[in-house]
């Protein structure tokens, strides 16, 4: 008899996928770099230099030994600004997923477990949210509330929970028919206990996959908002507003577009590869 939980079995199958494991290594490396940068910034020791220090005599310099990724139109070091933009992007990704999961799991769990009219009402709510283009809804809300890190996280989280709700609902519709759920019901356990102790742990794999795939979507949404001027405001560096600053100097300062764009691409790709690898591992039962 296999006594391993579904999550442990998923992890074992995931570790056999080399692409997914290497993508996970990249994510861990980026997270450690972002955490170290944030810690040094809090200690007043920005490395390799202050990302907001301007020097017009050094503006638009190409990559060199002094400025590894060049400088921008104000003479600020692009490498330093990219390092200090990493915590913003990852913070948006992780915290947004927490917000969307909190909403999606609750609504999906109730809809899938209760069924009937409750399920129909909640799914019509989900359908209503799906009628609106997500990014334009985010853009409108941020424009009304004002651009700030907290507003971005809350708004993206509040409009990106629908996919989680649908997937959790589908998993609950299947799991509520399991024998152990019927046994718990016969023993007189209340619905909340059945959901939290019996069904939700067995739906953890689906929730994890949804969370991992939601992080790059949040990172890309934040980068898009910053590029349009509705994200985190200058002088705070983000990958999106570095690209926004560089679009004016595209032909003469290609590094302002290439390096932050590559960072966004690699980060999003790593999360997508991990999510796809987890999905494949979940299908191989």
Confidence of residue 5 (pLDDT cuts 50, 70, 90): low
Phi and psi based region of residue 90 (left: phi greater than 0; alpha: psi -120 to 50; beta: remaining): alpha
Confidence of residue 196 (pLDDT cuts 50, 70, 90): confident
Residue 274, both tokens: 């991990």
CA distance 71 to 223: 20
pLDDT at 279 over 60: yes
For residue 179, count other CB atoms closer than 10 A to its CB. 7
Say which residue, 283 or 172, is predicted with more confidence. 172
Q: What is the pLDDT of residue 70?
A: 94
Say which residue, 7 or 2, is predicted with more confidence. 7
What mean pLDDT is predicted for residues 55-69? 93
- Coil, strand or helix: which one is 132? coil
User: Are the CB atoms for 13 and 257 separated by under 8 Å?
Assistant: no
What mean pLDDT is predicted for residues 169-190? 88
Q: Which range has the worst mean pLDDT, 25-34, 42-51, 64-73, 107-116?
A: 42-51
Query: What value does the mean pLDDT of the chain take?
Result: 89
Query: What digits encode the pLDDT tens for the residues 223-275?
Result: 999 888 888 888 888 999 999 988 889 888 999 999 999 999 999 999 999 99
Structural domains of the chain, ranges and CATH numbers in brackets: 7-39+94-283 (1.10.3720.10)
- CB contact set of 62 (below 8 Å; sequence gap of 6+): 70, 253, 255
CA distance 274 to 26: 10
Q: What is the pLDDT of residue 144?
A: 87
Residue 104, both tokens: 């999606």
Nearest to 185 by CA among 119, 118, 109, 113: 113
CA distance 262 to 51: 19
- Coil, strand or helix: which one is 27? helix
Q: What is the pLDDT of residue 1?
A: 47
Q: What is the pLDDT of residue 33?
A: 94
Confidence of residue 44 (pLDDT cuts 50, 70, 90): confident
Which of 109-113, 201-205, 248-252 has the highest average model confidence (pLDDT)? 109-113
Nearest to 162 by CA among 214, 206, 205, 203: 214
Confidence of residue 167 (pLDDT cuts 50, 70, 90): very high
Q: DSSP code of 264?
A: H
Q: Which range has the worst mean pLDDT, 25-39, 172-186, 267-281?
A: 172-186
CA distance 35 to 31: 6
- CB contact set of 66 (below 8 Å; sequence gap of 6+): none
Q: What is the DSSP string of 103-117?
A: HHHHHHHHHHHH-HH
Model confidence, pTM: 0.90
Residue 48, both tokens: 């390799």
CA distance 40 to 157: 29
Residue indicated by tokens 């921008």: 72
pLDDT at 191 over 70: yes
Nearest to 104 by CA among 218, 202, 214: 214
Confidence of residue 2 (pLDDT cuts 50, 70, 90): low
Q: What is the DSSP string of 139-187?
A: HHHHHHH-S-HHHHHHHHHHHS-HHHHHHHHHHHHHHTTSHHHHHHHHT
- Coil, strand or helix: which one is 77? strand
Residue 239, both tokens: 């990958």
Say which residue, 4 or 58, is predicted with more confidence. 58
CA distance 231 to 222: 6
Nearest to 263 by CA among 242, 232, 233, 234: 242
């Amino acid at each position: 008899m296999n006594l391993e939980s579904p999550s442990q079995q998923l992890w074992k199958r995931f570790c056999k996928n080399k692409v997914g494991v290497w993508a996970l290594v990249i994510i861990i490396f980026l997270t450690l770099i972002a955490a170290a940068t944030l810690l040094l910034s809090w200690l007043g020791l920005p490395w390799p230099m202050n990302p907001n220090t301007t020097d017009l005599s050094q503006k638009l310099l190409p990559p060199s030994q002094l400025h590894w990724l060049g400088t921008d139109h104000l003479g600020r070091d692009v490498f330093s600004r990219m390092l200090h933009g990493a915590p913003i992007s990852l913070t948006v990704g992780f915290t947004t997923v927490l917000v969307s999961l909190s909403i999606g799991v609750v609504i999906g769990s109730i809809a899938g477990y209760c069924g009937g009219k409750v399920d129909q009402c909640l799914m019509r709510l989900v359908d209503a949210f799906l009628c609106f283009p997500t990014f334009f809804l985010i853009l409108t809300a941020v424009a009304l509330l004002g651009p700030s890190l907290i507003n971005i996280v809350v708004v993206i989280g509040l409009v990106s929970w629908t996919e989680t709700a649908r997937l959790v609902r589908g998993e609950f519709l299947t799991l509520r028919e399991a024998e152990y759920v019927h046994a718990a019901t016969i023993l007189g356990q209340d619905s909340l206990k059945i959901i939290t102790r019996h069904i939700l742990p067995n739906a953890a794999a689906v929730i994890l996959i949804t969370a991992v795939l939601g992080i790059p979507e949040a990172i890309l949404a934040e980068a898009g908002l910053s590029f349009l001027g509705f994200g985190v405001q200058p002088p705070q560096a983000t990958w999106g507003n570095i690209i926004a600053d560089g679009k004016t100097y595209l032909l003469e300062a290609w590094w302002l577009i290439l390096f932050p764009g590559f960072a966004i691409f690699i980060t999003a790709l790593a999360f997508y590869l991990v999510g796809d690898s987890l999905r494949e591992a979940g299908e191989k039962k």
